[in-house]
């Protein structure tokens, strides 16, 4: 059974490399497009999908000055978020992806 789970995650993560576009889950649970800029290949076994991303936010609608606990000054100015050490996570039974994770874009 465990071997099946491992091969499923390997199938899901096949093709993960710098330059791919994924969805990043914002603190409020909304999804934003992100480009994979670094894959931590030596850490994939411990944390599947572990990568750094550049997230394209909805600028002022997402990256607000009042949310400074999440965003630094450069991110507030540019609307582009550098999300580091992000693991892959599928939607759980709730259908919701956890914040600060990534997944492949849904088809609808
Ligand atoms: Zn998504």
How many CB atoms sit inside 10 A of residue 75's CB?
Answer: 19
52 close to 74: Cβ distance less than 8 angstroms: no
Beta-carbon-side half-sphere exposure of residue 69 (alpha carbons within 13 Å): 2
**Cα-based distances in Å from 91 to 38, 71, 98:** 23, 25, 8
Q: Collect residues with CB below 5 Å from ion ligand 1.
A: 23, 31, 106
Centre of ligand 1 to C-alpha 105, Å, is 5
| Domain residue spans of the chain | 2-103
Centre of ligand 1 to C-alpha 36, Å, is 15
pLDDT tens for each residue of 65-98:
787 888 888 888 899 999 999 999 999 888 899 9
Residue 5: pLDDT band (50, 70, 90) is: low
């Amino acid at each position: 059974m465990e071997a099946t789970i491992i091969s499923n995650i390997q199938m899901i993560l096949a093709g993960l490399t710098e330059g791919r576009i994924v969805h990043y889950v914002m603190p409020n649970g909304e999804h934003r497009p992100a480009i994979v800029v670094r894959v931590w290949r030596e850490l994939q076994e411990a944390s599947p999908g572990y990568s750094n991303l550049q997230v394209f936010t909805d600028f002022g609608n997402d990256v607000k000055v009042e949310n400074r606990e999440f965003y630094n000054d450069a991110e507030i100015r540019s609307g582009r978020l550098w999300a580091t050490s992000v693991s892959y996570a599928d939607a759980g039974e709730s259908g919701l992806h956890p914040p600060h994770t990534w997944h492949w874009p849904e088809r609808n």
